[in-house]
Chain A
Protein backbone atom coordinates (compact mmCIF):
# COMPACT_ATOMS: atom_id res chain seq x y z
CA UNK A 1 0.00 0.00 0.00
CA UNK A 2 1.06 3.55 -0.75
CA UNK A 3 0.51 4.86 2.79
CA UNK A 4 3.91 3.55 3.83
CA UNK A 5 5.62 6.83 2.99
CA UNK A 6 2.85 8.94 4.50
CA UNK A 7 3.69 10.93 7.64
CA UNK A 8 1.42 10.01 10.54
CA UNK A 9 2.23 13.11 12.59
CA UNK A 10 2.55 16.72 11.43
CA UNK A 11 5.07 19.26 12.71
CA UNK A 12 2.82 20.28 15.60
CA UNK A 13 2.56 16.63 16.67
CA UNK A 14 -1.04 16.33 15.46
CA UNK A 15 -2.25 13.15 13.80
CA UNK A 16 -3.56 12.69 10.24
CA UNK A 17 -7.14 13.32 11.37
CA UNK A 18 -6.10 16.36 13.41
CA UNK A 19 -6.22 14.64 16.81
CA UNK A 20 -3.76 15.16 19.63
CA UNK A 21 -1.84 12.03 20.65
CA UNK A 22 -4.12 11.39 23.66
CA UNK A 23 -7.39 12.27 21.96
CA UNK A 24 -10.20 9.82 21.16
CA UNK A 25 -12.07 9.89 17.88
CA UNK A 26 -15.62 11.29 18.00
CA UNK A 27 -17.92 8.67 19.52
CA UNK A 28 -21.66 8.29 19.09
CA UNK A 29 -23.49 5.57 21.01
CA UNK A 30 -27.12 4.52 20.91
CA UNK A 31 -28.61 1.77 23.07
CA UNK A 32 -31.69 -0.32 22.22
CA UNK A 33 -31.66 0.03 18.45
CA UNK A 34 -33.00 -3.39 17.39
CA UNK A 35 -36.56 -4.40 18.30
CA UNK A 36 -36.08 -8.18 18.08
CA UNK A 37 -32.99 -8.44 20.25
CA UNK A 38 -33.20 -8.60 24.04
CA UNK A 39 -30.51 -5.95 24.12
CA UNK A 40 -28.66 -3.99 21.46
CA UNK A 41 -26.35 -1.08 20.87
CA UNK A 42 -24.97 0.85 17.92
CA UNK A 43 -21.68 2.68 18.06
CA UNK A 44 -19.75 4.98 15.78
CA UNK A 45 -16.15 5.69 16.68
CA UNK A 46 -14.42 7.60 13.92
CA UNK A 47 -15.51 5.75 10.78
CA UNK A 48 -16.16 2.53 12.72
CA UNK A 49 -19.84 1.63 12.56
CA UNK A 50 -20.72 -1.39 14.66
CA UNK A 51 -23.94 -3.06 15.77
CA UNK A 52 -24.13 -5.43 18.73
CA UNK A 53 -27.12 -7.52 19.77
CA UNK A 54 -27.73 -9.84 22.70
CA UNK A 55 -30.21 -12.71 22.78
CA UNK A 56 -30.86 -14.47 26.06
CA UNK A 57 -30.61 -15.79 28.67
CA UNK A 58 -32.37 -18.55 26.76
CA UNK A 59 -32.47 -22.32 26.53
CA UNK A 60 -29.26 -23.76 25.10
CA UNK A 61 -29.32 -26.00 22.04
CA UNK A 62 -27.85 -28.57 21.70
CA UNK A 63 -28.71 -29.29 25.32
CA UNK A 64 -25.60 -31.32 26.14
CA UNK A 65 -23.54 -28.15 25.84
CA UNK A 66 -25.39 -26.57 28.78
CA UNK A 67 -23.42 -26.15 32.00
CA UNK A 68 -25.06 -27.14 35.30
CA UNK A 69 -23.64 -24.28 37.35
CA UNK A 70 -23.51 -21.32 34.96
CA UNK A 71 -24.67 -19.84 31.69
CA UNK A 72 -22.79 -20.33 28.45
CA UNK A 73 -21.73 -17.06 26.90
CA UNK A 74 -21.31 -17.20 23.15
CA UNK A 75 -19.95 -14.49 20.91
CA UNK A 76 -19.71 -13.98 17.19
CA UNK A 77 -17.66 -11.10 15.83
CA UNK A 78 -18.29 -10.71 12.15
CA UNK A 79 -17.32 -8.17 9.52
CA UNK A 80 -19.68 -7.26 6.71
CA UNK A 81 -18.24 -7.95 3.24
CA UNK A 82 -18.52 -4.23 2.43
CA UNK A 83 -16.95 -3.02 5.69
CA UNK A 84 -13.42 -2.80 4.32
CA UNK A 85 -11.66 -1.50 1.17
CA UNK A 86 -11.38 -4.90 -0.54
CA UNK A 87 -14.51 -7.05 -0.22
CA UNK A 88 -14.15 -9.50 2.65
CA UNK A 89 -15.55 -12.98 2.20
CA UNK A 90 -18.56 -13.39 4.51
CA UNK A 91 -17.22 -16.74 5.75
CA UNK A 92 -15.61 -16.38 9.20
CA UNK A 93 -11.86 -15.84 8.87
CA UNK A 94 -9.27 -17.09 11.36
CA UNK A 95 -8.97 -13.52 12.60
CA UNK A 96 -12.72 -13.31 13.25
CA UNK A 97 -12.69 -16.63 15.11
CA UNK A 98 -9.85 -15.44 17.35
CA UNK A 99 -11.53 -12.07 17.95
CA UNK A 100 -14.84 -13.76 18.79
CA UNK A 101 -12.97 -15.69 21.48
CA UNK A 102 -11.04 -12.77 22.98
CA UNK A 103 -14.11 -10.51 22.94
CA UNK A 104 -16.13 -13.19 24.73
CA UNK A 105 -13.34 -13.52 27.30
CA UNK A 106 -13.25 -9.73 27.68
CA UNK A 107 -16.97 -9.57 28.50
CA UNK A 108 -17.26 -12.74 30.57
CA UNK A 109 -15.55 -11.33 33.72
CA UNK A 110 -18.28 -8.67 33.87
CA UNK A 111 -21.21 -11.09 33.73
CA UNK A 112 -22.64 -12.97 36.71
CA UNK A 113 -22.65 -16.20 34.72
CA UNK A 114 -23.63 -18.24 37.78
CA UNK A 115 -27.03 -16.50 38.03
CA UNK A 116 -28.47 -18.35 35.04
CA UNK A 117 -27.36 -22.01 35.06
CA UNK A 118 -28.13 -24.19 32.02
CA UNK A 119 -28.83 -21.18 29.80
CA UNK A 120 -27.11 -19.45 26.91
CA UNK A 121 -26.53 -15.81 26.11
CA UNK A 122 -25.59 -15.01 22.52
CA UNK A 123 -23.70 -11.87 21.59
CA UNK A 124 -23.70 -10.97 17.92
CA UNK A 125 -21.40 -8.25 16.68
CA UNK A 126 -21.57 -6.97 13.11
CA UNK A 127 -18.90 -4.59 11.93
CA UNK A 128 -20.67 -2.57 9.24
CA UNK A 129 -17.68 -0.36 8.56
CA UNK A 130 -14.17 -0.92 9.90
CA UNK A 131 -11.73 1.88 10.66
CA UNK A 132 -9.18 0.39 13.06
CA UNK A 133 -9.50 -0.87 16.64
CA UNK A 134 -12.77 -2.63 15.79
CA UNK A 135 -12.33 -5.20 18.56
CA UNK A 136 -12.34 -2.42 21.15
CA UNK A 137 -15.29 -0.59 19.64
CA UNK A 138 -17.13 -3.94 19.48
CA UNK A 139 -16.54 -4.63 23.16
CA UNK A 140 -17.78 -1.15 24.12
CA UNK A 141 -21.00 -1.76 22.16
CA UNK A 142 -21.48 -5.40 23.20
CA UNK A 143 -21.18 -4.62 26.90
CA UNK A 144 -23.96 -2.01 26.48
CA UNK A 145 -26.09 -4.55 24.62
CA UNK A 146 -25.63 -6.97 27.53
CA UNK A 147 -26.71 -4.27 29.99
CA UNK A 148 -29.66 -3.35 27.76
CA UNK A 149 -30.72 -7.02 27.78
CA UNK A 150 -30.83 -6.88 31.57
CA UNK A 151 -28.02 -9.40 32.02
CA UNK A 152 -26.65 -8.90 35.58
CA UNK A 153 -23.15 -7.42 35.39
CA UNK A 154 -20.39 -6.37 37.78
CA UNK A 155 -19.52 -3.36 35.66
CA UNK A 156 -19.64 -2.15 32.08
CA UNK A 157 -16.62 -3.10 30.00
CA UNK A 158 -15.08 -0.21 28.09
CA UNK A 159 -12.36 -0.83 25.54
CA UNK A 160 -9.83 1.32 23.77
CA UNK A 161 -6.54 0.86 21.96
CA UNK A 162 -3.24 2.63 22.22
CA UNK A 163 -0.29 2.26 19.91
CA UNK A 164 2.91 3.69 18.62
CA UNK A 165 3.22 5.90 15.57
CA UNK A 166 6.52 7.55 14.72
CA UNK A 167 8.04 7.10 18.19
CA UNK A 168 4.97 8.51 19.93
CA UNK A 169 2.45 6.56 22.04
CA UNK A 170 -1.03 7.56 20.88
CA UNK A 171 -4.60 6.75 21.87
CA UNK A 172 -7.34 5.08 19.82
CA UNK A 173 -5.64 4.04 16.56
CA UNK A 174 -7.53 4.52 13.32
CA UNK A 175 -7.12 2.27 10.29
CA UNK A 176 -3.98 3.89 8.82
CA UNK A 177 -2.28 4.24 12.20
CA UNK A 178 -3.02 0.57 12.89
CA UNK A 179 -1.59 -0.58 9.54
CA UNK A 180 1.42 1.75 9.31
CA UNK A 181 2.14 2.31 13.01
CA UNK A 182 4.67 0.14 14.79
CA UNK A 183 2.50 -1.28 17.58
CA UNK A 184 -1.12 -1.78 18.59
CA UNK A 185 -2.26 -2.45 22.16
CA UNK A 186 -6.00 -3.07 22.54
CA UNK A 187 -7.24 -3.00 26.15
CA UNK A 188 -10.64 -3.71 27.70
CA UNK A 189 -11.20 -2.49 31.22
CA UNK A 190 -13.79 -2.46 34.00
CA UNK A 191 -13.15 0.96 35.57
CA UNK A 192 -15.04 0.33 38.81
CA UNK A 193 -13.04 -2.82 39.52
CA UNK A 194 -9.72 -1.75 38.03
CA UNK A 195 -9.69 -4.99 36.04
CA UNK A 196 -8.14 -5.51 32.61
CA UNK A 197 -10.29 -8.03 30.74
CA UNK A 198 -8.67 -7.90 27.33
CA UNK A 199 -5.04 -7.26 26.59
CA UNK A 200 -3.30 -7.97 23.34
CA UNK A 201 -0.39 -6.49 21.54
CA UNK A 202 1.43 -6.72 18.27
CA UNK A 203 4.40 -4.71 17.13
CA UNK A 204 7.57 -3.83 18.98
CA UNK A 205 7.62 -1.77 22.17
CA UNK A 206 10.16 -1.40 24.94
CA UNK A 207 9.02 -2.32 28.43
CA UNK A 208 8.56 1.39 29.25
CA UNK A 209 6.62 2.09 26.05
CA UNK A 210 4.37 -0.88 26.69
CA UNK A 211 3.60 0.37 30.18
CA UNK A 212 2.86 3.86 28.83
CA UNK A 213 0.57 2.42 26.14
CA UNK A 214 -1.43 0.27 28.57
CA UNK A 215 -1.84 3.21 30.95
CA UNK A 216 -2.93 5.52 28.12
CA UNK A 217 -5.42 2.93 26.85
CA UNK A 218 -6.89 2.61 30.36
CA UNK A 219 -7.37 6.41 30.47
CA UNK A 220 -9.19 6.12 27.12
CA UNK A 221 -11.38 3.33 28.54
CA UNK A 222 -12.37 5.59 31.44
CA UNK A 223 -13.49 8.35 29.05
CA UNK A 224 -15.46 5.84 26.97
CA UNK A 225 -17.00 4.42 30.16
CA UNK A 226 -18.52 7.84 30.95
CA UNK A 227 -20.04 7.94 27.45
CA UNK A 228 -21.41 4.42 27.87
CA UNK A 229 -23.20 5.44 31.04
CA UNK A 230 -24.64 8.51 29.32
CA UNK A 231 -25.91 6.36 26.43
CA UNK A 232 -27.58 3.92 28.83
CA UNK A 233 -29.24 6.77 30.72
CA UNK A 234 -30.39 8.37 27.47
CA UNK A 235 -32.07 5.14 26.46
CA UNK A 236 -34.08 4.80 29.64
CA UNK A 237 -34.81 8.49 30.14
CA UNK A 238 -36.38 8.64 26.68
CA UNK A 239 -38.58 5.62 27.47
CA UNK A 240 -39.92 7.51 30.47
CA UNK A 241 -40.84 10.49 28.31
CA UNK A 242 -42.87 8.31 25.96
CA UNK A 243 -44.82 6.88 28.89
CA UNK A 244 -45.79 10.33 30.13
Chain B
Protein backbone atom coordinates (compact mmCIF):
# COMPACT_ATOMS: atom_id res chain seq x y z
CA UNK B 1 0.00 0.00 0.00
CA UNK B 2 2.91 2.32 0.57
CA UNK B 3 4.03 4.16 -2.52
CA UNK B 4 7.57 5.12 -1.52
CA UNK B 5 9.70 1.99 -1.30
CA UNK B 6 12.54 2.64 1.13
CA UNK B 7 15.98 2.14 -0.37
CA UNK B 8 16.80 -0.53 2.19
CA UNK B 9 14.20 -2.81 0.69
CA UNK B 10 15.35 -2.13 -2.86
CA UNK B 11 18.76 -3.49 -1.85
CA UNK B 12 17.03 -6.65 -0.64
CA UNK B 13 14.92 -6.80 -3.79
CA UNK B 14 17.23 -9.19 -5.61
CA UNK B 15 17.51 -11.50 -2.60
CA UNK B 16 13.73 -11.62 -2.10
CA UNK B 17 13.15 -12.26 -5.80
CA UNK B 18 15.83 -14.98 -6.01
CA UNK B 19 14.39 -16.78 -2.99
CA UNK B 20 10.89 -16.63 -4.48
CA UNK B 21 12.21 -18.13 -7.73
CA UNK B 22 13.32 -21.11 -5.59
CA UNK B 23 9.89 -21.28 -3.95
CA UNK B 24 11.12 -19.80 -0.65
CA UNK B 25 10.53 -16.55 1.21
CA UNK B 26 12.66 -14.34 3.41
CA UNK B 27 10.52 -15.06 6.47
CA UNK B 28 10.65 -18.82 5.92
CA UNK B 29 7.15 -19.29 4.53
CA UNK B 30 6.19 -21.21 1.41
CA UNK B 31 4.75 -19.20 -1.50
CA UNK B 32 1.15 -20.05 -0.59
CA UNK B 33 1.45 -19.86 3.20
CA UNK B 34 -0.33 -17.32 5.35
CA UNK B 35 1.25 -15.81 8.41
CA UNK B 36 -0.32 -16.80 11.72
CA UNK B 37 -3.84 -15.40 12.11
CA UNK B 38 -5.07 -14.41 15.57
CA UNK B 39 -8.54 -13.03 16.16
CA UNK B 40 -10.05 -11.50 19.27
CA UNK B 41 -13.67 -10.42 19.34
CA UNK B 42 -15.67 -8.07 21.54
CA UNK B 43 -12.72 -5.99 22.68
CA UNK B 44 -14.47 -2.61 22.60
CA UNK B 45 -17.41 -2.63 24.98
CA UNK B 46 -18.93 0.60 23.70
CA UNK B 47 -19.13 -0.65 20.11
CA UNK B 48 -22.01 -2.90 19.02
CA UNK B 49 -19.39 -5.23 17.57
CA UNK B 50 -15.61 -5.30 17.45
CA UNK B 51 -12.61 -7.44 16.62
CA UNK B 52 -8.86 -7.28 16.45
CA UNK B 53 -6.92 -9.30 13.92
CA UNK B 54 -3.23 -10.05 13.94
CA UNK B 55 -1.84 -11.29 10.65
CA UNK B 56 1.79 -11.79 11.57
CA UNK B 57 2.78 -8.33 12.73
CA UNK B 58 -0.01 -6.60 10.83
CA UNK B 59 -2.67 -5.46 13.27
CA UNK B 60 -6.14 -4.24 12.38
CA UNK B 61 -9.03 -3.34 14.67
CA UNK B 62 -12.60 -3.00 13.47
CA UNK B 63 -15.46 -1.46 15.38
CA UNK B 64 -19.10 -1.66 14.31
CA UNK B 65 -21.50 1.04 15.40
CA UNK B 66 -25.23 0.96 14.70
CA UNK B 67 -27.51 3.94 14.29
CA UNK B 68 -31.05 4.40 13.10
CA UNK B 69 -31.23 6.27 9.82
CA UNK B 70 -32.92 6.45 6.45
CA UNK B 71 -32.55 3.79 3.73
CA UNK B 72 -31.25 4.58 0.26
CA UNK B 73 -34.17 5.44 -2.06
CA UNK B 74 -33.39 2.50 -4.38
CA UNK B 75 -33.33 -0.05 -1.52
CA UNK B 76 -36.16 1.09 0.80
CA UNK B 77 -36.41 -2.32 2.51
CA UNK B 78 -32.75 -2.75 3.37
CA UNK B 79 -30.47 -1.56 6.12
CA UNK B 80 -27.42 0.46 5.17
CA UNK B 81 -23.83 -0.81 5.29
CA UNK B 82 -20.95 1.65 5.23
CA UNK B 83 -17.31 0.71 5.43
CA UNK B 84 -14.58 3.22 6.19
CA UNK B 85 -10.86 2.70 6.72
CA UNK B 86 -8.36 4.82 8.60
CA UNK B 87 -4.64 4.34 8.08
CA UNK B 88 -3.82 5.63 11.53
CA UNK B 89 -0.47 7.50 11.63
CA UNK B 90 0.79 5.37 14.52
CA UNK B 91 0.68 2.29 12.27
CA UNK B 92 3.46 3.20 9.86
CA UNK B 93 6.01 5.95 9.20
CA UNK B 94 4.40 6.35 5.77
CA UNK B 95 0.89 7.10 7.11
CA UNK B 96 0.05 10.74 7.64
CA UNK B 97 -2.80 12.39 9.51
CA UNK B 98 -5.63 13.76 7.40
CA UNK B 99 -8.67 12.60 5.50
CA UNK B 100 -8.49 9.07 3.97
CA UNK B 101 -6.18 8.99 0.94
CA UNK B 102 -6.65 6.79 -2.14
CA UNK B 103 -5.05 3.81 -0.38
CA UNK B 104 -7.45 4.03 2.57
CA UNK B 105 -10.42 4.51 0.24
CA UNK B 106 -9.41 1.55 -1.93
CA UNK B 107 -8.94 -0.62 1.18
CA UNK B 108 -12.40 0.28 2.50
CA UNK B 109 -14.07 -0.23 -0.86
CA UNK B 110 -12.48 -3.63 -1.47
CA UNK B 111 -13.57 -4.86 1.98
CA UNK B 112 -17.01 -3.33 1.42
CA UNK B 113 -17.37 -5.08 -1.96
CA UNK B 114 -16.55 -8.47 -0.47
CA UNK B 115 -19.17 -8.15 2.27
CA UNK B 116 -21.81 -6.53 0.06
CA UNK B 117 -21.52 -8.69 -3.05
CA UNK B 118 -21.39 -11.98 -1.13
CA UNK B 119 -24.57 -10.79 0.64
CA UNK B 120 -22.86 -11.66 3.91
CA UNK B 121 -25.39 -9.71 5.95
CA UNK B 122 -29.13 -10.05 5.51
CA UNK B 123 -29.73 -6.32 5.12
CA UNK B 124 -33.50 -6.82 4.74
CA UNK B 125 -33.64 -7.91 8.38
CA UNK B 126 -32.23 -4.49 9.31
CA UNK B 127 -35.27 -2.65 7.97
CA UNK B 128 -37.43 -1.07 10.69
CA UNK B 129 -40.04 0.98 8.80
CA UNK B 130 -39.79 0.38 5.01
CA UNK B 131 -38.63 3.48 3.15
CA UNK B 132 -38.33 5.45 6.40
CA UNK B 133 -36.23 3.89 9.13
CA UNK B 134 -33.51 1.27 8.95
CA UNK B 135 -30.44 0.29 10.92
CA UNK B 136 -27.26 1.83 9.54
CA UNK B 137 -24.11 -0.22 10.11
CA UNK B 138 -20.86 1.70 10.35
CA UNK B 139 -17.90 -0.62 9.91
CA UNK B 140 -14.77 1.32 10.80
CA UNK B 141 -11.44 -0.28 9.95
CA UNK B 142 -8.58 0.96 12.08
CA UNK B 143 -5.13 -0.11 10.94
CA UNK B 144 -2.88 -0.20 14.01
CA UNK B 145 0.31 -1.71 12.61
CA UNK B 146 1.22 -2.02 8.96
CA UNK B 147 3.33 -5.03 8.09
CA UNK B 148 1.74 -5.75 4.73
CA UNK B 149 -1.49 -7.22 3.37
CA UNK B 150 -3.88 -4.79 4.99
CA UNK B 151 -6.70 -5.94 2.72
CA UNK B 152 -6.87 -9.55 3.98
CA UNK B 153 -6.36 -8.52 7.61
CA UNK B 154 -9.05 -5.83 7.34
CA UNK B 155 -11.51 -8.14 5.57
CA UNK B 156 -11.06 -10.77 8.30
CA UNK B 157 -11.37 -8.16 11.05
CA UNK B 158 -14.49 -6.67 9.48
CA UNK B 159 -16.19 -10.09 9.26
CA UNK B 160 -15.10 -11.01 12.79
CA UNK B 161 -16.49 -7.73 14.11
CA UNK B 162 -19.79 -8.17 12.22
CA UNK B 163 -20.14 -11.72 13.59
CA UNK B 164 -19.68 -10.21 17.03
CA UNK B 165 -22.23 -7.43 16.42
CA UNK B 166 -25.43 -7.20 18.44
CA UNK B 167 -28.43 -5.21 17.25
CA UNK B 168 -30.50 -3.63 20.02
CA UNK B 169 -34.04 -4.94 20.27
CA UNK B 170 -36.74 -2.50 19.30
CA UNK B 171 -40.42 -2.09 18.60
CA UNK B 172 -42.32 0.37 16.44
CA UNK B 173 -45.17 2.34 18.00
CA UNK B 174 -47.04 4.85 15.78
CA UNK B 175 -44.02 5.17 13.54
CA UNK B 176 -41.70 5.81 16.49
CA UNK B 177 -38.90 3.37 17.19
CA UNK B 178 -38.59 2.34 20.82
CA UNK B 179 -35.48 0.63 22.09
CA UNK B 180 -36.23 -2.43 24.20
CA UNK B 181 -33.87 -4.19 26.55
CA UNK B 182 -31.72 -6.96 25.10
CA UNK B 183 -29.88 -7.59 21.87
CA UNK B 184 -30.11 -9.84 18.80
CA UNK B 185 -27.06 -10.98 16.86
CA UNK B 186 -26.59 -9.51 13.39
CA UNK B 187 -28.07 -11.81 10.69
CA UNK B 188 -24.89 -13.19 9.04
CA UNK B 189 -25.41 -15.42 6.00
CA UNK B 190 -22.00 -15.75 4.34
CA UNK B 191 -18.35 -15.53 5.32
CA UNK B 192 -16.40 -13.88 2.50
CA UNK B 193 -12.61 -14.22 2.78
CA UNK B 194 -10.19 -12.05 0.81
CA UNK B 195 -6.95 -13.63 -0.39
CA UNK B 196 -4.26 -11.26 -1.67
CA UNK B 197 -1.35 -12.14 -3.96
CA UNK B 198 1.76 -10.16 -4.75
CA UNK B 199 3.46 -10.65 -8.09
CA UNK B 200 7.23 -10.59 -7.64
CA UNK B 201 9.44 -11.43 -10.63
CA UNK B 202 6.51 -13.09 -12.38
CA UNK B 203 5.72 -15.36 -9.40
CA UNK B 204 2.67 -15.13 -7.17
CA UNK B 205 2.99 -15.18 -3.39
CA UNK B 206 0.10 -15.29 -0.93
CA UNK B 207 -0.25 -12.83 1.97
CA UNK B 208 2.69 -10.51 1.14
CA UNK B 209 4.33 -8.87 4.13
CA UNK B 210 5.60 -5.30 4.05
CA UNK B 211 8.96 -5.82 2.35
CA UNK B 212 7.38 -7.99 -0.33
CA UNK B 213 4.70 -5.37 -0.90
CA UNK B 214 7.31 -2.68 -1.29
CA UNK B 215 9.04 -4.48 -4.13
CA UNK B 216 6.05 -6.22 -5.76
CA UNK B 217 5.13 -5.44 -9.35
CA UNK B 218 1.41 -5.83 -8.84
CA UNK B 219 -1.21 -7.05 -6.38
CA UNK B 220 -4.34 -9.13 -6.85
CA UNK B 221 -7.08 -9.67 -4.29
CA UNK B 222 -9.72 -12.34 -4.77
CA UNK B 223 -12.63 -12.62 -2.36
CA UNK B 224 -14.63 -15.83 -2.36
CA UNK B 225 -17.73 -16.91 -0.45
CA UNK B 226 -18.47 -20.13 1.47
CA UNK B 227 -19.36 -21.98 -1.77
CA UNK B 228 -16.15 -20.98 -3.51
CA UNK B 229 -17.88 -18.40 -5.73
CA UNK B 230 -15.88 -15.32 -6.62
CA UNK B 231 -17.55 -12.20 -5.23
CA UNK B 232 -14.92 -9.46 -5.48
CA UNK B 233 -11.65 -8.97 -7.33
CA UNK B 234 -9.23 -6.08 -7.26
CA UNK B 235 -5.95 -5.65 -9.07
CA UNK B 236 -3.61 -3.03 -7.67
CA UNK B 237 -0.13 -1.73 -8.27
CA UNK B 238 1.51 -0.57 -11.45
CA UNK B 239 2.25 -3.99 -12.97
CA UNK B 240 0.16 -6.51 -14.86
CA UNK B 241 -0.96 -10.17 -14.80
CA UNK B 242 -1.38 -12.81 -17.48
CA UNK B 243 -4.70 -14.62 -17.84
CA UNK B 244 -3.01 -17.80 -16.64
CA UNK B 245 -1.80 -16.10 -13.45
CA UNK B 246 -5.28 -14.72 -12.76
CA UNK B 247 -6.94 -18.12 -13.16
CA UNK B 248 -4.26 -19.77 -11.01
CA UNK B 249 -4.83 -17.10 -8.35
CA UNK B 250 -8.58 -17.78 -8.30
CA UNK B 251 -7.96 -21.48 -7.70
CA UNK B 252 -5.47 -20.84 -4.87
CA UNK B 253 -7.73 -18.15 -3.35
CA UNK B 254 -10.60 -20.62 -3.12
CA UNK B 255 -8.42 -23.21 -1.38
CA UNK B 256 -6.84 -20.68 1.01
CA UNK B 257 -10.19 -19.11 1.90
CA UNK B 258 -11.71 -22.47 2.73
CA UNK B 259 -8.66 -23.37 4.86
CA UNK B 260 -9.01 -20.10 6.76
CA UNK B 261 -12.74 -20.59 7.27
CA UNK B 262 -12.12 -24.08 8.62
CA UNK B 263 -9.36 -22.89 10.95
CA UNK B 264 -11.55 -20.09 12.33
CA UNK B 265 -14.66 -22.23 12.58
CA UNK B 266 -16.65 -19.91 10.25
Asked whether A210 lies within 8 Å of B230 as measured between CB atoms, the reply is: yes
Min CB–CB distance B251 → chain A (angstroms):
7
Instruction: List residues of A (47-97) whose CB comes within 8 Å of B's CBs.
Output: 94-95, 97
Instruction: List residues of A (85-121) whose CB comes within 8 Å of B's CBs.
Output: 94-95, 97-98, 100-102, 104-105, 108-109
A203 at the interface (CB under 8 A from B): yes
Say which one of B34-42, B121-129, B239-247, B258-266 lies at the interface with A.
B239-247
Interface flags, B222-266, vs A, CB<8A=1, else 0: 000100111111111111111100110011001000000000000
Task: Give Cα A9 to B78, complex, Å.
Answer: 27
Instruction: List residues of A (197-232) whose CB comes within 8 Å of B's CBs.
Output: 197-207, 210-211, 214-215, 218
Asked whether B102 lies within 8 Å of A214 as measured between CB atoms, the reply is: no
Asked whether A98 lies within 8 Å of B233 as measured between CB atoms, the reply is: no
Min CB–CB distance A54 → chain B (angstroms):
17
Asked whether B240 lies within 8 Å of A205 as measured between CB atoms, the reply is: no
Asked whether B231 lies within 8 Å of A203 as measured between CB atoms, the reply is: yes
Asked whether B230 lies within 8 Å of A205 as measured between CB atoms, the reply is: yes
Which residues on the A side are within 8 Å of B247 (C-beta)?
Answer: 211, 214
Q: Which of A200, A203, A207, A211 contacts B228 (CB 8 A)?
A: A207
Asked whether B250 lies within 8 Å of A98 as measured between CB atoms, the reply is: no
A151 at the interface (CB under 8 A from B): no
Which residues on the B side are within 8 Å of A185 (C-beta)?
Answer: 233
A195 at the interface (CB under 8 A from B): yes
Asked whether A204 lies within 8 Å of B118 as measured between CB atoms, the reply is: yes
Task: Give Cα A1 to B231, complex, Å.
Answer: 23
When C-beta atoms are compared, the residue in chain B nearest to A94 turns out to be B105
Min CB–CB distance B115 → chain A (angstroms):
11
Asked whether A204 lies within 8 Å of B117 as measured between CB atoms, the reply is: yes
Q: Which of B109, B232, B238 contacts A109 (CB 8 A)?
A: B238
Asked whether A211 lies within 8 Å of B231 as measured between CB atoms, the reply is: no
When C-beta atoms are compared, the residue in chain B nearest to A184 turns out to be B117
Given the contacts A102-B235, A102-B236, A105-B235, A196 and B242 also touching, CB distance less than 8 Å: yes
Given the contacts A202-B232, A203-B117, A210 and B102 also touching, CB distance less than 8 Å: no
Q: Which of B108, B116, B119, B233 contacts A200 (CB 8 A)?
A: B233
Which residues on the B side are within 8 Å of A100 (C-beta)?
Answer: 102
B220 at the interface (CB under 8 A from A): yes
B211 at the interface (CB under 8 A from A): no
Asked whether A105 lies within 8 Å of B230 as measured between CB atoms, the reply is: no
Min CB–CB distance A138 → chain B (angstroms):
16
When C-beta atoms are compared, the residue in chain A nearest to B238 turns out to be A108
Task: Give Cα A51 to B254, complex, Å.
Answer: 39
Min CB–CB distance A86 → chain B (angstroms):
9
B57 at the interface (CB under 8 A from A): no
Asked whether B243 lies within 8 Å of A194 as measured between CB atoms, the reply is: yes
Most buried by B among A94, A104, A202: A202
Question: Please, could you name 21 A-B residue pairs with CB atoms under 8 Å apart, sorted by A?
Answer: A94-B109, A95-B109, A98-B102, A101-B105, A109-B218, A199-B220, A199-B234, A199-B235, A201-B232, A201-B234, A203-B117, A204-B230, A204-B231, A206-B230, A207-B228, A207-B251, A207-B254, A210-B250, A211-B247, A214-B247, A215-B243
| Seed contacts A98-B106, A102-B106, A194-B242; 7 additional CB < 8 Å A-B pairs | A102-B236, A109-B240, A201-B234, A205-B231, A207-B228, A210-B230, A214-B243
